[in-house]
Amino acid sequence: MAPRADTAQLWPLGRECAVAFTFDFDAEEAWIAGDPAATERPGRLSQGAYGAKVAVPLILDVLARHGVPATFFVPGRVAERHSGRVAEIVAAGHELGHHGYTHTSPTALTPAQEKEELVHGMKALSRFVPSVRGYRSPSWEITSHTLALLAHHGFDYSSNLMDDIRPYLHPGTGLVELPVHWSLDDAPHFWFAEDEWSKKISTVEEVEAIWRAEFEGIRRLGGCCVFTMHPQFIGRPGRLPLLEAMIALAQETPGVWVAQAHEIAARARRALASLTGAS
């Protein structure tokens, strides 16, 4: 097992933990990937269209007002369909990360298709940034090929796995993992199951309590709190104050380093490489 860095090695002087605000800008693709026939259902797709049409500008406004550097993971097809929005994200200084080309889980693809998705997605994002450093799979699922594929294509980090609360190095690849968790994702709390009507939509108070507890626990343990939000969910008018509350929590708690995912990965990589003797 790879060595784990302690807090003093991982974070900038005087900081005890890191926080990344990350947004998976799925737009319509989250609905199309699971059901290609959804392209013929504008009502269904409108749930994702809201993200591009209304939510992203609202979120960019919140981030700008609070001076928060964030990371947006964007599927290639979203970058093609909503190129204006993606250009706004980049112009505001936020990081772009890879989120598949069609928002299909790599576990549903052959190795050749997985490679094709990765390359296609990189090409779509290359219109906006010289390179993408991070990969977040649609669904957070990776295959036994994914890490080698990412390393081969020059990625610096993956943000998909739930086996730690601190960044770590994937042995033999040089890739940093920035661990995530369902509890810090807005989708499990807010995504309504419209086919079954079986799922309750959580209140912002419930989610705020879960997020505060998880943030506090990760802070105490010197970890990295990776918030994963989706414009179509967190960008509803009643939920934007929750985003603002989490930003205030991160910015007002002493010892917290708020940074983009690639900055956290770069810092962790240096600290962890010195432990393993790797370069």
Nearer to Zn ion, 24 or 156 (CB): 24
DSSP string covering 184-244: GBSHHHH---TTT---PPPPHHHHHHHHHHHHHHHHHTT-EEEEEE-HHHHTSTTTHHHHH
Please answer whether residues 175 and 150 qualify as being in contact, where contact means their C-beta atoms are separated by less than 8 angstroms. yes
Binding track, positions 125-164, relative to Zn ion; x by CB under 5 A: -------------x--------------------------
Helix residue ranges per DSSP H, the chain: 7-10, 29-34, 42-50, 56-66, 76-81, 83-91, 111-125, 146-152, 187-190, 204-220, 231-234, 240-252, 261-276
Among 26, 156, 177, 263, binds Zn ion (CB under 5 A): 26
Write a three-state SS string for 117-132. HHHHHHHHHCCCCCCC
Nearer to Zn ion, 28 or 263 (CB): 28
Nearer to Zn ion, 102 or 260 (CB): 102
Minimal distance in Å, beta carbon 141 to Zn ion? 11
117 is a contact residue toward Zn ion (CB under 5 A): no
114 is a contact residue toward Zn ion (CB under 5 A): no
Minimal distance in Å, beta carbon 34 to Zn ion? 11
Minimal distance in Å, beta carbon 99 to Zn ion? 6
Among 15, 20, 24, 250, binds Zn ion (CB under 5 A): 24
95 is a contact residue toward Zn ion (CB under 5 A): no
Residues that bind Zn ion (CB under 5 A): 24, 26, 138
